[in-house]
Amino acid sequence: DDGCVRGSVSPSRSPAQRCGRKYIRVIVTMMVPQHQSLVKYDNPVLVSTSKGRGRKGKLPPVEQKQQLTQTEDILNSILPPREWTAEGQLWVQYVSSTPATRLDVINLQEQLDQKLQQRQARETGICPIREELYAQCFDELIRQVTINCAERGLLLLRVRDEIRMTIAAYQTLYESSIAFGMRKALMAEQKKADMEATIKRLHAEKEELEQQVEMLQARCRKIEEEASEQRALDEKKHADEVGHLKSINDNLKRSLEQLLAAPKK
């Protein structure tokens, strides 16, 4: 079918070759993971395929892969190959060992800005998306540097690991401080609730004691009034008795005087 080669394939190739290249391009595109990375990888390689239930068989090699060079070995140790399974087939994708040009660096910067905008990364503050994209960009720069100078790439790898370790330490410290702050806040809330309950209880006790004081004061006033009345009654009774005894004493005195004054016979 000529429709599979319309527009983008050179007319010098035969229709079968053009359709074959188009088919291979579609298959490779389907096999690439949906989550694209800023790190440049080679085309994925089919490692094994499932045959029947629970059986896996290796595909016969189409072409013998050349022995890995020292640079490729270092690249694979720095950036391990990606592996995934699609439709029962195991695919592996190695990091690219193609040297980068100035245009590749410019394209990398444009892709970074584009992905930051597409994934709506925050410009400031803590943002996992921005951190992930910048980590991928730094890995790609390590790949480009390692191809030209393996020692420089390994040194950048140490710098990257040290930065990640420092960030992880700060993140752990931040999380522990957040947990400590939450515990302190909960303790403060608990203490606040306890203090409010204590204050409420003390207010109730204060009101009860005030009522008792008012009752005792009223009782004291009543006792004082009763004592005053009783004292007045006692004083009146005592005065009456004294007056009565005085009158009896006067009568007896007069009678004695009369007896003493009477002539003797």
Which tens digit of pLDDT belongs to each residue from 142-169?
Answer: 999 999 888 999 999 999 999 999 999 9
Lowest mean pLDDT segment, chosen from 18-22, 189-193, 228-232, 259-263: 18-22
Phi, psi of 56 (to 5 degrees): -120, 140
Residue 217 confidence (pLDDT): 95
Which pLDDT does position 87 carry in this prediction?
A: 82
Q: What is the pLDDT of residue 41?
A: 87
Percent of the chain residues past pLDDT 90, beyond the cut = 48
Q: In whole angstroms, what is the distance from residue 95 CA to residue 123 CA? A: 29
pLDDT of amino acid 103: 93
pLDDT of residue 50: 58
In angstroms, the Cα distances linking 96 to 31, 62, 84, 144, 230 are: 17, 20, 17, 9, 118
User: pLDDT (tens digit, 9 = 90+) per residue, 87-122?
Assistant: 888 888 888 888 888 999 999 999 999 999 999 999
pLDDT digits (tens, 9 = 90+) for 199-240: 999 999 999 999 999 999 999 999 999 999 999 999 999 999
Scan for tokens 């004592």, then name that residue: 227
pLDDT of residue 141: 92
The mean of the pLDDT values for the chain is 80
The pLDDT-based confidence of 28 (bands split at 50, 70, 90) is very low
CA–CA distance, 9 with 17 (Å, rounded to integer) = 10
